[in-house]
């Protein structure tokens, strides 16, 4: 099973930060949460599509959104 952490690790933290236009620190926060931020699910950002493109479309943006959805603990 693919996790969001494995997607980040596959690309590399610095590459994810560069592709998404955010700080390396923010990517580490995503990695710790194993999820994209709320803004991705409210339509304010489009990180999943940027990540999909950076991954050569191995995962669609919809797949990444499902993988990186915050889980209730």
Helix axes 24-33, 13-20, angle to 10 degrees: 110
Q: How far is CA 7 from the centre of its chain?
A: 7
The whole-model pTM stands at 0.92
pLDDT tens-digit series, residues 3-22: 999 999 999 999 999 999 99
- Average of per-residue pLDDT across 20-41: 98
- Enter the DSSP assignment of 37: -
Distance from C-alpha of 73 to C-alpha of 59, rounded to nearest angstrom:
25
| Phi/psi at 29 (5° precision) | -65, -40
Q: How many residues does the chain have?
A: 73
């Amino acid at each position: 099973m693919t996790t969001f952490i494995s997607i980040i690790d596959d690309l590399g933290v610095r590459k994810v930060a560069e592709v998404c236009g955010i700080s390396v620190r923010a990517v580490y926060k995503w990695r710790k949460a194993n999820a994209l931020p709320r803004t991705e699910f409210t339509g304010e950002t489009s990180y999943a599509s940027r990540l999909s493109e950076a991954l050569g479309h191995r995962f669609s943006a919809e797949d990444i959104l499902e993988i990186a959805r915050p889980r209730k603990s």
